[in-house]
Amino acid sequence: MDKALWFDNIRIYHLLIDRFNGGWQTPPKSENIFCGGTLQGVTDKLDYIKELGFNAVMLSPIFASANYHGYHTLNFDDVDPHLGTWEDYQRLLDTAHDKGMKIICDFVPNHCWYQAPMFQEALLKNGGRNRDWFFFKNDSSDEFVSFLGFGDLPKFNLTNPEVVSFMIDKAEKLARMGVDAFRIDHALGQPHSFLKGLRESLQAIRSDIVVFGEVWAFGIGPQLASQLYFKTENRLNEFLAQETKPFSQDNLQADYVGTLDGVLDFAYRDLLLEEVHAGRGIKGNTTLKSKIADHFAKYPADFKLVLFLDNHDTDRFLFDCHDDVNLLQDAINMTKELPRPFSFLYGTEQLMTNNPSIFNAEPYADLRVRNCMDWRK
């Protein structure tokens, strides 16, 4: 029996802690710095989120980080002091649960910040302690393998049993505190054996915990294939051939059946964008509904496809709709009607958008979709 049926129709409010509520009214400018949002700020706005119709909150990573978004981890022992304390995190969990709401954490086991003490200790110039926790180009050099070519993010070696045990231990602490579900960042960069073991360990603590992954190949070329983990050689070959034949996001997602409880459904989003960009609309679009049904049929009924229109790494859906609010609302309405989890990016209710696209290669272009909430509205 599926112990996590609670997740199947969950309505998730997805937020970046630093950008959500730091007690401001006039929002700080969106810059590549900490802007002041806190865990207590989220707790203070749980009633606001619930009144919008959401019964779960997905938080950005909470561990100490070199950057506001939480993906540049400095250590896995401390809550980032910009965001609060472990006591603040526990209070958020307990308050949410008292209100009948779930908390989903964003867990990042793939990489850390290059200034993280645990990585610095692995460098030969600093003694080379636990060097095999990371990937280095050779035994005599401190040149390391970085996450998708981002030179300041060394990639963890998740084939090392010590690293596996370390990461599972950190996730288990969150589970024991009461976290209800885990979003695994860049799951494509982690061995299936690690992900399956992580899920099994968490569900040994509580059988109803849900573990789903961000499995997205957008912008990753064949030259980075050695950083990724594919379940089959066929899928690897398909990825390597993407320059001559379109790579199937659906096939990639389906490979995580049996490994994770589900995935963020980028393929669903692609179907909606295809119609929007072609000017065909969403409401009453029977062809789109047929495509969605065919898409869902590719997965077992109990595999949890987390639907979403946009997130902190994509253009806002309203931008893709050319600021057509009715089109955005049509997409929201259709998605809410589907019997699947639905993740809604903070600020959409305020019609946040971006212009130009975040994919125009400018430094920190993603800040355009990571604005601070305006609490005057």
What does the pLDDT look like over 131-168, one tens digit per residue? Answer: 999 999 999 999 999 999 899 999 999 999 999 999 99
Average pLDDT, the chain: 97
Global pTM reads 0.98
Domains along the sequence of the chain with CATH? 5-109+165-215+256-369 (3.20.20.80), 111-157 (3.90.400.10)
CB 9 within 8 A of CB 339: yes
Mean pLDDT, residues 33-40 taken together: 98
Task: Give the H/E segment covering residue 15.
Answer: strand 11-15
Listed residue (330, 350, 291) closest to 19, CA to CA: 350
The answer to whether the bond into 117 is cis (omega within 30° of 0) is no
Long-range CB contacts (< 8 A, 24+ apart) of 18-21?
18/60, 18/68, 18/69, 18/70, 18/82, 18/83, 19/68, 19/346, 19/370, 19/371, 19/372, 19/373, 20/45, 20/346, 20/372, 20/373, 21/45, 21/373, 21/375
Mean pLDDT, residues 284-295 taken together: 98
CB 304 within 8 A of CB 5: no
Residue 103 structure tokens:
């908390």
